[in-house]
A and B are shown apart, each in its own frame.
Chain A
């Protein structure tokens, strides 16, 4: 049946047959889809193409600029992407790492340790706000929830909105003065600034530090500082730090493996604001009904005061790392290609992380079997063994119980083991 519209259209397009005219209409949705796809594909490419024009600067000047940076107030969004080539560090850590996390984990899901291990895998978005040394806040954005660590003039709070639990402690120097407890809740160094400082500390004669062009980070013009190993055999290809050209604040930090591919660790601001963050951000009062755990209490939860707890921990560590029959930890080589070597004594110790530490020989042998299945067998002058590879850290475990670990290639590990014999 003829509609009004088709009657209207007949004289406009008499050359086309009605069927063809109808078919032509289907090009509209196809074109819309095409334009949308092209826009989505092109916009990031266009945004990324404009490297800013900045005056030349030497590497030394740039490092000085970072050191002189007086940024105390900033807020922004940080994206952390980690691809170490491991299935999931969080899962591994849960299974194999005993020790400091345990007391907190039993006490409250707002304990920071678990959240921070989760950051070591995958991509996460964080929000940070700094206002001088007295007020800081770091929030991990989760699906429909958020985990915040807030430091406000001596008071330290950790709040997990998903479980509606909070953890409270006071900074040492406050009235409780319990240093161990404060350390538990203190945020790890996860801002680009702290990451950058640590990387620069590692620089020595074996390291080349250059200015590698400019880049746009979080909408700001930045210089790129490239730190590369001069030695061969390292798994680290380069470390890049983007430094804000105005304030000297590091905005982005990335570790690129020498094997290529995307960065193994990439921490950078996606939004940054150097004005004073609102003071309301740092105020936290646990809402009614929130389960609040005092950090001191959670340590005491096991029936021991925390000082004694610490001593036990030290002892435990000694047992695990210092007490190996092979004589403990040795470092072979230096700087970028340093390799840690420790003996486990075949059949007695478990893995490089001391996973099976006190659990007896049977369990250790079982762990060896499982680990053997994960690695690749190698052999050389040292005998034979198994290599476990990730994108940054490789480990070689020889059949006679020696373990070599380092941020070096598989060949370098074998070479070190050969030379060591």
Chain B
């Protein structure tokens, strides 16, 4: 707690609040007054605090390691002639067979491998911690002794989580790109439809896919934020969010529940690979983004209803 406080202070020392009539110093929280103004300053300081946590850095480190591991594994499995020598093609994670042709495919393979579990888990931890973590550290009430208000704080927390989604996705993508470039040849990209695009266009597609993958996590982020407003314990909120994620993934794997599958937030996650077709196939991607928007609206407003009507005692 004292460390976090120090970080908050170093995070935006230059943003002392101006203007008369503001409560500048919260009792008992000497460093907190920097955050009272809200707006971009609050958002910036929240983001810096989130990213600078050791926990966050460790999670990002794990994410960065996954593509390296996949790359090395594929490299070892590959014969000297440059072709994967296993006879059973079509198994394993998506795009894994194309990695040996083109290192850029490691980006897609790594995203396909991390999207079901690793990425959402990391997002679940950050989203679950957003409000409940402040409450359990005893800092929430000081955040609220400010004209910024609860709604604004909640929006800032959600925006921070969304930026973190993008950051986590880019961590995987950049690490995969670096590993792929080191271990495998780069060059013109063959789309899964069999057509060829230049490496530059391939990079653009990789960027686009990263954005779509990050946006795919928006629904989970809202769900985590909602859970976070329900409890005063950061650990409980994180565990619940990750638990919900796993439950939903299991439900999505049961064929008898096919009727409800289109309503589960991970259902269209893998649709990002439709952006590797030629011409681009947007139907499922659109459905994915729409579903995420619905989840964000429903659980975002639920979080708002819960957070603005509850008594904050910690």
A interface residues with partner B (beta carbon < 8 Å): 1, 3-6, 8, 21-23, 25-26, 28-29, 32-33, 36, 77, 109, 127, 139, 141, 143-146, 148, 150, 157, 159-165, 270, 278, 280-281, 283-285, 287-291
A108 to chain B, nearest CB (A): 9
> Provided the pairs A163-B89, A290-B101 are in contact, do residues A29 and B146 lie with their beta carbons within 8 angstroms?
no
B196 interface residue, CB < 8 Å from A?
yes
Contact of A283 among B100, B195, B274, B311 (CB under 8 A): B195
B146 engages A4 (CB within 8 Å): yes
Q: List 14 A-B contacts (CB under 8 A).
A: A1-B141, A1-B311, A1-B313, A4-B148, A5-B149, A25-B305, A36-B294, A109-B90, A127-B281, A139-B194, A144-B192, A161-B193, A284-B194, A287-B102
Question: In the complex, A36→B304 CA distance in Å?
Answer: 18
In the bound complex, do residue B89 and residue A150 qualify as a contact, i.e. CB atoms below 8 Å apart?
no
With a cutoff of 8 Å between Cβ atoms, the chain A residues found around residue B256 in the complex are none
A144 in contact with B112 given A1-B312, A32-B297, A163-B89 (CB within 8 Å): yes
Chain B contacts of A23 at CB under 8 A? 309
- Determine the residue in chain B with the shortest Cβ distance to A23: B309
Interface residues of B (CB under 8 A from A): 82-84, 89-90, 94-95, 97-98, 100-102, 112, 141, 144-151, 185, 190, 192-196, 270, 273-274, 277-279, 281, 283, 294, 297-299, 301-302, 304-306, 308-313
B162 smallest CB distance to A (angstroms) = 18
Main secondary structure of the interface of A (DSSP, over half): mixed
Contact (Cβ within 8 A) A164 B194: no
Q: Are A161 and B98 in contact (CB under 8 A)?
A: yes
Contact B299 A160 (CB under 8 A): no
Contact residue among B90, B149, B301 (Cβ-Cβ distance under 8 Å from A4): B149
Q: Which residues of B contact A144 (CB under 8 A)?
A: 94-95, 112, 192, 270, 273
Assess A4 versus B305: contact at CB under 8 Å? Given A145-B94, A148-B193. no
In the complex, are the beta carbons of A32 and B196 less than 8 A apart? no
* A160 cross-chain contacts in B, Cβ below 8 A: 89-90
* Pairs A-B, 10 closest by C-beta atoms: A163-B89, A22-B309, A144-B94, A29-B302, A163-B90, A164-B97, A25-B305, A161-B192, A287-B190, A144-B273
Question: Do A146 and B94 form a contact, CB below 8 Å, given A3-B144, A289-B82?
Answer: no
Chain B: CB-nearest residue to A165: B89
Q: How many Å lie between the Cα of A157 and that of B190 in the bound state?
A: 14
Contacts of B281 in A (CB 8 A): 77, 127, 141
List residues of chain A with CB within 8 A of the CB of B310: 22
Across the interface, which residues of A come within 8 angstroms of B82, CB to CB?
288-289
B194, A157: Cβ atoms closer than 8 Å: yes
Within the complex, the shortest CB–CB distance from A125 to chain B, in Å, comes to 8
| B-chain residues with CB within 8 Å of residue A290 when the two chains form the complex | 83, 101
Distance in angstroms from A306 CB to nearest chain B CB is: 23
* B304 proximity list for chain A (CB < 8 A): 25, 28-29
Q: Which residues of B contact A148 (CB under 8 A)?
A: 193-194
A307 CB to nearest chain B CB (Å)? 29
Extra contacts besides A33-B298, A278-B279 (19): CB < 8 Å: A1-B312, A3-B150, A5-B150, A22-B309, A25-B308, A28-B304, A29-B298, A32-B297, A36-B298, A141-B274, A145-B273, A146-B277, A161-B193, A164-B89, A281-B278, A285-B190, A287-B98, A289-B100, A290-B101
| A1 contacts across to B, CB distance below 8 A | 141, 144, 311-313
- The CA-CA distance from A270 to B28 in the complex, in Å, is 63
The residue in chain A whose Cβ has the minimal distance to the Cβ of B100 is: A289
Q: A4-B146, A36-B298 are in contact. Are A109 and B89 (CB under 8 A)?
A: yes
Chain B residues with CB under 8 Å of A283's CB are 195-196
Q: How many angstroms from the CA of A36 to the CA of B263 in the assembled complex? A: 11
Separation of A100 and B194 alpha carbons in the complex (Å): 26
Known contacts A36-B294, A164-B97, A289-B84; A4/B147 CB under 8 A:
yes
Contact of A29 with B305 at beta-carbon distance under 8 Å, contacts A4-B147, A148-B193, A163-B90 already known:
yes
Residues of A within 8 A of B308 (CB): 3, 5-6, 25
Q: What CA separation (Å) do A127 and B297 show in the bound complex?
A: 34
Query: What is the minimal beta-carbon distance from A56 to any residue of chain B, in angstroms?
Result: 34
- C-alpha gap A326/B44 in the complex (Å): 85
Question: Which of chain B's residues have a CB closer than 8 A to the CB of A288?
Answer: 82, 101, 185
Among B90, B297, B309, point to the contact of A25 (Cβ < 8 A).
B309
Are A3 and B149 within 8 A (Cβ)? yes
**A5 & B151 in contact (Cβ 8 Å cutoff):** yes
In the docked arrangement, what's the CA distance between A18 and B146, Å? 21
> Smallest distance from the beta carbon of B123 to chain A beta carbons, Å?
21
In the complex formed, the residue of A with least CB distance to B302 is A29
Give the docked Cα–Cα distance between A109 and B297 (Å): 44
Residues on B with beta carbons closer than 8 Å to the beta carbon of A278 = 279
Q: Contacts of A77 on B, CB cut-off 8 Å?
A: 281, 283
Distance in Å: Cβ of B216 to nearest Cβ of chain A:
14
Q: Which chain B positions have C-beta within 8 A of A270?
A: 283
Chain B nearest CB, measured from A164 CB (Å) = 4
Alpha-carbon distance A287/B192, docked complex (angstroms): 11
Within the assembled complex, what's the spacing in Å between the Cα atoms of A90 and B209? 33
Question: Given A33-B298, A283-B196, A284-B194, A163 and B97 touching (CB < 8 A)?
Answer: yes
